[in-house]
């Protein structure tokens, strides 16, 4: 059984590519069901955030990656061949290392961000609830959560409040010299919106307005931070009245279009409007950039804002990597041991199969033997086979404690041509 990862992230693909492969939370259960039912994959989990879309799979052999590509083409309606330059594909130890880096926050746009660990946990819980994370992926994700917790407890990688939301508010603070005189509109009242609301209040905005498709949720969030809930239907009017707009909804299509912004800008009479879209898929039509005095930034534009954060924490990456190396050894020992049982079973079956074939070949000559003598011959063959297998079996068990044991176990399987006992050796 192999662990496989197929994905893309903020380093390999721009936001306009990432949003095409995003998996909304409500769509993930059906997607997981299709992966294990229709694409011959034993286990599956989907990690989809504003910065990445990744499939984690347990499959027999490397064909699982081909099946994952076919799934993306059929499920997301994209030409996967044209996206190959954006994908990374990983297997076994490389897949584990990658997920450990993700959970620890050192693979994030905002180094050490706090939100990714809860997103990894939610990915596991969703896969567990839908029966697509069983032995292998359950263990992998549980250990990745342990890495993430250790990284934040034993290093300063997560010092302070770090997230895409903090970067967005910091960008707004850089643009407006006196953000305390600004009126801010928050579009979206989910977890990301809640974080953003807190940081806007901490930054000292003069007024916070919150809108959401579910009015009750907007009212709840606004009340918590002393803001004002405004109707979602009045979004265009609000665009005309505020200075800063930050969007973070889970919508699959833009909630602020080009036409609404043109109308709002006409009402503003030339006053500039500053918008930050931190959603994937994007909430604001990118064509808004063509409108005079509209300054639109998306999640990829936050790179410069977070560069200083990365420099401050470069030294912590080495400490986190040491934790990853430590936890990887433990995981690989478990993973390798998982493979020894089936391998030992297959090797014994191969020996028994060959023994039976040889007895069949010599049936005519053995007919003259008594039943006792025939049984003696069979016992000699078994004893000889057991002696031949003794040292390989000892080595197989040793490989479970080797960091690269999964490679050696695969070599043993290939050397003994295990997996297809139906093949006849014509020699």
182 is catalytic: no
Phi–psi pair at 276, nearest 5 degrees: -125, 120
| Three-state secondary structure of the chain | CEEEEEEEECCCCCHHHHHHHCCCHHHHHHHHHHHHHHCCCCEEEEEEECCEEEEEEEECCCHHHHHHHHHHHHHHCCCHHHHHHHCEEEECHHHHHHHHHHHHCCCCCCCCCCHHHHHHHHHHHHHHHCCCCCHHHHHHHHHHHHHHHHHHHHCCCCCCCCCHHHHHHHHHHHHCCCHHHCEEEEECCCHHHHHHHHHHHHHCCCEEEEECCCHHHHHHHHHHCCCEECCHHHHHHHHHHCCEEEECCCCCCCCECHHHHHHHHHHHCCCCEEEEECCCCCCECHHHHHCCCEEEEEHHHHHHHHHHHHHHHHHHHHHHHHHHHHHHHHHHHHHHHHHHHHHHHHHHHHHHHHHHHHHHHCHHHHCCCCHHHHHHHHHHHHHHHHHHHHHHHHHHHHHCCCCCHHHHHHHHHHHCCCCCCCCCCCC
In a 13 Å sphere around the CA of 377, the CA atoms on its Cβ side amount to: 17
Q: CA 201, CA 219: separation in Å to the nearest integer?
A: 16
Of 21, 22, 50, 106, catalytic: 50
Q: Please enumerate, as own/partner, the contacts of 82-89 that have beta carbons within 8 Å and a separation of 24 or more.
A: 83/8, 83/13, 83/17, 83/21, 86/8, 86/12, 86/13, 86/17, 87/6, 87/7, 87/8, 87/12, 88/5, 88/6, 88/7, 88/8, 88/9, 88/12, 89/4, 89/5, 89/6, 89/65
Catalytic residues: 50
């Amino acid at each position: 059984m192999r662990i496989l990862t197929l994905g893309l992230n903020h380093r390999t693909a721009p936001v306009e590519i990432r949003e095409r492969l995003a998996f909304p939370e409500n769509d993930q259960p059906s997607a997981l069901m299709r992966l294990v039912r229709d694409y011959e994959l034993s286990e599956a989990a989907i990690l989809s955030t504003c910065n990445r879309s990744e499939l984690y799979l347990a499959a027999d052999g490397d064909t699982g990656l081909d099946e994952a590509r076919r799934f993306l083409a059929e499920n997301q309606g994209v030409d996967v061949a044209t996206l190959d330059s954006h994908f990374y594909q990983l297997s076994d130890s490389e897949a584990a290392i990658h997920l450990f880096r993700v959970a620890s926050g050192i693979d994030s746009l905002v180094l050490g961000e706090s939100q990714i660990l809860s997103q990894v946990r939610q990915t596991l819980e969703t896969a567990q609830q839908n029966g697509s994370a069983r032995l292998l992926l359950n263990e992998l994700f549980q250990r990745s959560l342990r890495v993430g917790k250790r990284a934040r407890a034993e290093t300063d990688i997560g010092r302070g409040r770090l997230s895409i939301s903090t970067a967005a508010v910091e960008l707004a603070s850089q643009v407006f010299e006196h953000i305390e005189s600004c009126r801010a509109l928050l579009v979206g009242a989910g977890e990301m919106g809640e974080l953003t609301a807190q940081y806007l209040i901490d930054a000292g905005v003069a007024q916070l307005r919150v809108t959401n498709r579910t009015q009750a949720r907007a009212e709840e969030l606004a009340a918590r931070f002393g803001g004002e809930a405004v109707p979602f239907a009045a979004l265009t009017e609000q665009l005309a009245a505020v200075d800063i707009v930050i969007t973070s909804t889970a919508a699959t299509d833009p909630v602020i279009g080009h036409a609404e912004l043109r109308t709002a800008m006409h009402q503003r009479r030339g006053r500039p409007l500053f918008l930050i879209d931190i959603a994937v898929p994007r909430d604001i039509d990118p064509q808004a950039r063509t409108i005079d005095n509209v300054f639109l930034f998306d999640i990829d534009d936050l790179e410069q804002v977070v560069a200083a954060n990365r420099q401050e924490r470069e030294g912590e990456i080495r400490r986190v990597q040491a934790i990853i190396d430590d936890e990887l050894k433990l995981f690989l020992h478990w993973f390798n041991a998982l493979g020894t049982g089936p391998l030992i079973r297959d090797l014994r079956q191969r020996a028994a199969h060959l023994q039976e074939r040889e007895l069949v070949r010599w049936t005519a000559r053995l007919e003259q033997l008594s039943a006792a003598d025939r049984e003696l011959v069979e016992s000699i063959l078994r004893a000889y086979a057991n002696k031949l297998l003794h040292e390989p079996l000892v080595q197989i068990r040793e490989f479970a404690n080797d960091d690269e044991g999964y490679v050696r176990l695969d070599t043993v399987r290939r050397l003994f041509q295990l997996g297809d006992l139906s093949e006849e050796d014509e020699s």
